[in-house]
Amino acid sequence: MYPTNKKVRVYCRKCEKLKKQHIVGTSQNGGYKVMVWGCFSFNGVGKIIIIRDKLNAAKYINILANNLRESAEMNHMDNFIFQQDRAPPH
C-alpha cells in the first residue's frame, strides 16, 4: 500500500480478493452524523426535522403525527398517498 494525497492504493491480481488488512475506514466531516426526517412531493418539499436521539417506532410515529399533515398543507395537498422506505423504525 502506498498512500498518495490521502488515498491508499492496493495492488492485487485480478482474481485475488481484498484482504481485511488492506481495507481502510474513512470518516468525512470529522465523523459527525446527522439524521433527519423530511418529505417531498410533486408540489414541493415539506418540513425537515433533525432527529437528535436514536429513532424507534414510537418516536417515528410522533414525528409523523406532528409534522406530516403540516408538510402536506404547506404544499396545498388535501389528498396524498404516503410512502416510506423500509427503515427498521417504520
Distance CA 87, CA 90 (A): 6
Q: What is the pLDDT of residues 38-75, one digit of tens each?
A: 999 999 999 999 999 889 999 999 999 999 999 999 99
* Domain boundaries, given as residue ranges, for the chain: 24-74
CB neighbour class for 39 (10 Å; exposed up to 12, middle 13-18, buried from 19): buried
Confidence of residue 2 (pLDDT cuts 50, 70, 90): very low
Q: What is the pLDDT of residues 4-23, one digit of tens each?
A: 466 777 787 888 887 888 77
Contact 45, 38 (CB under 8 A): yes
| pTM for the structure as a whole | 0.60
